[in-house]
Amino acid sequence: MFTIVDAYTDEPSGLGVPPYLGTYPRYVYGAINERFGEEANYLTIDDLRLLFMHDGKAPDKEKETVTNPWIYNLTRSSEETARIIRGTKELVVIAGIQTPGKYLIARPGTLHELKRLLARIKARKVLTGPAALAGTGLIGGKHAESLPLDFFSSVDTDYLGINSYDNIREYAIKGAGIVRQIPYTIIAELETGRGCDIGKCSFCTEPLKSRLLFRDFHDVVREAGALKKAGVSHFRIGKQSCFYSYDGGNVHSIRSLLRGISALEPEVLHIDNVNPVKVVSSAGEEITKLIVSYCTPGNVAAFGVESFDSDVVRRNTLNSTPEISMRAIEAVNRFGAERGRNGMPLFLPGINFILGLIGETRRTLEINMNYLKDILGRGLLLRRINIRQVVPFPGTRLEAEAGTKFLRKNRRYYYSWRMRVRREIDYEMLKRIVPEGTILRDVRAEVYDGRRTFGRQLGTYPLTVGVNERLELGRFYDIRVIGHMLRSVTGEVVGEGSSQHEK
């Protein structure tokens, strides 16, 4: 009997931390079904934590004072988990955080934690996913976590051939069945391609994983259809380095892909990664219009700006110059800033900053701040500004040339600079993006903090909404914005959302 343990993945090209369901569990599930005719069991690391670390006693979420995100995403009772573990012959563990972030309703597993949890399991253990190639880095600003992996029987980056798009054509269809074992609402991450058509950034692990490849849009649409049939209605085309680069920036392929998934009438259809230089390419404007036309509101293009310091851009061979990034921000605002039916703008850019790159100085932070002030002063909107400290992964040029040198040199400046960004930029942006009185539709109540409930709309980089009452978790609500925090808003319930209750 095969069992999959999902310890969650987050990498430059894709997200698999709940509520997102990554591609790896689905491909592995489909591969096992295709090769052996078996329906593998699906467990999360939360299931193992509950069984081995919490004596199998699941919390009553409605009675918790503060929601525990370590054992939030449970798929079944501990008794059933124990029964599955006892009968498992091969345990396939999926792990690897290579883009460290903060997660509201989940805590990804580290290799050290997995070693403890798996020690009591007698099955053959296989590690796959990003951790099998380059380790994992749950905390930014440090070297990737590494330790002897002899507690795994095998470390396999291509388990049952999941790296082959020829295989995935069918694996992805059969893998859709895994969602029937997941009792909570998920957003399915859809893969369109691998590698990067530029592939020079000093810190990035994507060029280490694959040469540039693209899936046929027919295959992606078929996969989305299989997931929809299995009960999924929220999709993010996120498993790629740049959506605008799909099939070499082929407008026909991008139109066919978006139109095909949109025809399934999903509740959410969003994208993720975007290289700013592609937005201002000859096909960029038409692609932006297609995204606005076919995707649902609240959509965000995560721009890999990384730094507005031209010297840092040059020394790290980043994909976009400051001038091109500004033009791309203007272009997406021009077509996507209109408010949609869920209360959010249709399509906005987001910016990724990485601290600790080669050549960074204290002046780099001031340059970044000045560009942000310029964006704000020109009335342009940014949905979110993501700031993280780089992880020097083995095999990258950053790790070979600098490691944590620039992190150690400049770390004392980071906190105060980050707080300036939150207070002077993020706060003002939020007031423009969702002014007081805005009705945010279909906000899912997710966690408690005392008498307060925090929730989000389902989608890419959703805005956190706090309500000063305890709402039923898993339900969807329409909420009026009544105040703004540095990176979130406060609101009051004005009605039930149109989405169904948690499945």
pLDDT, tens digit (0-9, with 9 covering 90-100), for 76-105: 999 999 999 999 999 999 998 877 678 999
* SS3 call for 181: helix
Tally Cβ neighbours within 10 Å of residue 363: 10
Q: What is the sign, positive or negative, of the torsion defined by CA atoms of 333, 271, 351, 433? A: positive
* Contact between 435 and 492 (Cβ < 8 Å): no
CA nearest neighbour of 365 among 389, 381, 382: 389
Fill in the amino acid letter for 351.
I
H helix count then E strand count, the chain: 17, 21
For the chain, how are helix, strand and coil distributed in percent, rounded to 5? 40, 25, 40
Instruction: Give 135's DSSP letter.
Output: -
Cis amide leading into 19 (omega within 30): yes
What pLDDT, on the 0 to 100 scale, is given for residue 12? Answer: 78
* Contact between 348 and 380 (Cβ < 8 Å): no
Q: What is the pTM of this model?
A: 0.93
d(C-alpha 229, C-alpha 223), whole Å: 10
* SS3 call for 205: coil
Tally Cβ neighbours within 10 Å of residue 173: 20
What pLDDT, on the 0 to 100 scale, is given for residue 147? Answer: 61
What pLDDT, on the 0 to 100 scale, is given for residue 395? Answer: 87
Q: Are strands 41-44 and 154-155 parallel, antiparallel or unpaired?
A: unpaired
CA nearest neighbour of 277 among 243, 335, 321, 334: 321
First vs last C-alpha separation in the chain? 27
CA nearest neighbour of 286 among 247, 331, 326: 331
Q: Which element (helix H / strand E) includes 301?
A: strand 299-306
* Contact between 357 and 398 (Cβ < 8 Å): yes
Q: How many CA atoms lie within 13 A of 148 on its CB side?
A: 2
Could you tell me how far CA 31 lies from the centroid of its own chain?
23
What is the side-by-side strand order in the sheet with 234-239? 20-21, 187-191, 234-239, 268-271
Please report which residue ranges of 54-130 form alpha helices under DSSP H. Answer: 78-87, 111-118
Residues of the chain with pLDDT under 70: 100, 134-148, 499-503
Phi and psi, residue 251, nearest 5°: -65, -40
What pLDDT, on the 0 to 100 scale, is given for residue 503? Answer: 55
* Contact between 481 and 440 (Cβ < 8 Å): yes
